[in-house]
């Protein structure tokens, strides 16, 4: 049954949660990978664990202690930017984050014999991170082919061309528990509503004409 | 002066130590990255720290706790193979190891503004790991181009086409402290002399007609 095993990268946000439910719906036997990489708050991480449990999939939390920061998502001394336009790469960019996450996913996939890795990257309603674009995933696919024993593990990005509204609509169709997810770059009890991530989420719900259910 | 900064992946073995001294000799301001990834022994790790200190370069030890093993280098329940021929991929292969290491190196490079990453990979006198071959590094270079803000970080593999004897000769020319290095897959006080890594090292020294100085 290993041909149906999949690793799903799970951050606890809207996109990765939808991706997990999408993979489950497609019949994959999912294994969630969650990363504690020194985020400025643990709210998202808690959501990831709760989502994995609600989806009844096994999960691992990988703890990574980076001796460097270089991102406002890691360094509390740098303020989270409030941007009018989403052009350019903001300070919330975490250098090589998805490369690190995928590397662990590939390692895990090889060990348990999973042939598929799902990541909820999106290059439409996104913050401009280079490691969310299709060309990055095409390049990473080549790394798997050249650098692993099991050359055939595929990285799938089912949400990459969707708008946030389309992702939310898909999540609702799949009954993904969006109320358990956390998208805000800041911690706290309620989402700030004005960071890039909150804005993108808000735009998606408002395009659908419905209220966010967080 | 950041154009001269380099990250050097340092395992404490012969190849990575030679690479560090090579990069220093070329005038790079080196920063060593050492990984504690659950190796079956800590001997190599200690060597890496001692080598970094002897080279007077700053170093970071990154601790990675993999919840899976999948390699005889990580799992003490699996015996290190003693192979007559070095054909095929042995059980010492650690899934996606160099992909994980390079991912961290790229992250570090972006944060400190280093434009070069050195790794002592070798595809001549090697154990057959796919992530030591030139095609893997070409593929990873594309990942950096597509997935980072600073697209121009280069991964250099100066030893990739050398024989072990050539590497040892280079190390001696550069006065790299080979007596401080550790290559044996097993721990202990003395190298076993019969694992793949010991055999390759031994072959190099014997081809040069000199005794190993460990």
How far, in Å, CA of A72 to CA of A70, rounded?
Answer: 7
- The residues with which B33 forms a beta bridge, in sequence order, are B9, B60
In this predicted structure, what is the pLDDT of residue A85? Answer: 83
Tens place of pLDDT per residue across chain A (214 aa): 445 999 999 999 999 999 999 999 999 999 999 999 999 889 999 999 999 999 999 999 999 989 999 999 999 899 998 888 888 899 999 999 999 999 999 999 999 999 999 999 999 988 899 999 999 999 999 999 999 998 899 999 999 999 999 999 999 999 999 999 999 999 888 999 999 999 999 999 999 999 997 6
Chain A, 99 to 118: residues with Cβ < 8 Å from chain B are 99-100, 102-104, 106-108, 110-112
Cβ distance A143 to B139 less than 8 Å, yes or no, reads yes
A2-208 is a CATH 3.40.50.620 domain:
yes
Residues of chain A with C-beta less than 8 angstroms from the C-beta of B143? 99, 136, 139-140, 143
Torsion of CA A141, A146, A151, A152, to 10 degrees: 20
How far, in Å, CA of A33 to CA of B194, rounded?
Answer: 38
Enter the tokens of residue A24: 């489950």
Distance from CA of A62 to the nearest CA of B (A): 7
Residues ≥6 apart with Cβ < 8 Å to A123: A132, A133, A134, A160, A161
Average pLDDT, chain B: 94
In this predicted structure, what is the pLDDT of residue B166? Answer: 98
In this predicted structure, what is the pLDDT of residue A197? Answer: 93
Q: If you measure CA to CA, which chain B residue comes closest to A94?
A: B107
Distance from CA of A88 to the nearest CA of B (A): 10
H or E segment to which residue A213 belongs? none
Q: If you measure CA to CA, which chain B residue comes closest to A141?
A: B139
Secondary structure (3-state) at B63: strand
**pLDDT tens track for B159-202:** 999 999 999 999 999 999 999 999 999 988 899 999 999 999 99
Cβ distance B65 to A66 less than 8 Å, yes or no, reads no
Q: If you measure CA to CA, which chain B residue comes closest to A109?
A: B95
Q: If you measure CA to CA, which chain B residue comes closest to A59?
A: B67
Q: Does B213 touch chain A (CB under 8 A)?
A: no
Q: What is the DSSP string of A21-89?
A: HHHHHTT-EEEEEEEES--S-SHHHHHHHHHHHHTT--EEEEEB--S---STTT-TTSPPP--SS--S-
Q: Given its phi and psi angles, is residue B27 left (phi above 0), alpha (psi -120 to 50 degrees) or beta?
A: left
Q: Is A11 annotated as a binding residue?
A: yes
In this predicted structure, what is the pLDDT of residue B1? Answer: 46
Residues of chain A with C-beta less than 8 angstroms from the C-beta of B114? none
Residues B70-94: what's their mean pLDDT?
Answer: 89
Residues ≥6 apart with Cβ < 8 Å to B160: B121, B122, B123, B124, B132, B134, B137
**pLDDT tens track for B7-49:** 999 999 999 999 999 999 999 999 999 999 999 889 999 999 9
Please tell me the pTM assigned to this model: 0.95
H or E segment to which residue B156 belongs? strand B154-156
Q: Does A190 touch chain B (CB under 8 A)?
A: no
Residues ≥6 apart with Cβ < 8 Å to B77: none
Cβ distance A111 to B135 less than 8 Å, yes or no, reads no
Q: How large is the ipTM?
A: 0.94
């Amino acid at each position: 049954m290993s041909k149906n095993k999949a690793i799903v990268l799970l951050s606890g946000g809207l996109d990765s949660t939808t991706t997990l439910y999408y993979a489950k719906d497609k019949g994959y036997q999912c294994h969630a990978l969650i990363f504690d990489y020194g985020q400025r708050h643990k709210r998202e991480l808690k959501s990831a664990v709760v989502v994995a449990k609600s989806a009844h999939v096994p999960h691992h939390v990988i703890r990574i202690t980076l001796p460097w920061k270089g991102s406002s998502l890691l360094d509390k001394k740098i303020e989270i930017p409030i941007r009018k336009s989403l052009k350019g790469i903001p300070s919330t960019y975490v250098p090589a984050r998805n490369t690190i996450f995928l590397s662990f996913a590939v390692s895990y996939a090889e060990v348990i014999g999973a042939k598929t890795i799902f990541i909820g990257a999106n290059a439409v309603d996104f913050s401009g991170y280079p490691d969310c674009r299709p060309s990055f995933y095409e390049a990473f696919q080549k790394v798997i082919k050249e650098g692993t024993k099991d050359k055939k593990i595929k990285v799938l990005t089912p949400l990459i061309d969707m708008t946030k509204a389309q992702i939310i609509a898909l999540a609702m169709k799949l009954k993904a528990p969006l109320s358990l997810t956390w998208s805000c770059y800041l911690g706290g009890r309620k989402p700030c509503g004005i960071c890039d991530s909150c804005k993108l989420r808000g735009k998606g719900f408002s395009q659908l004409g419905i209220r966010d259910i967080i």
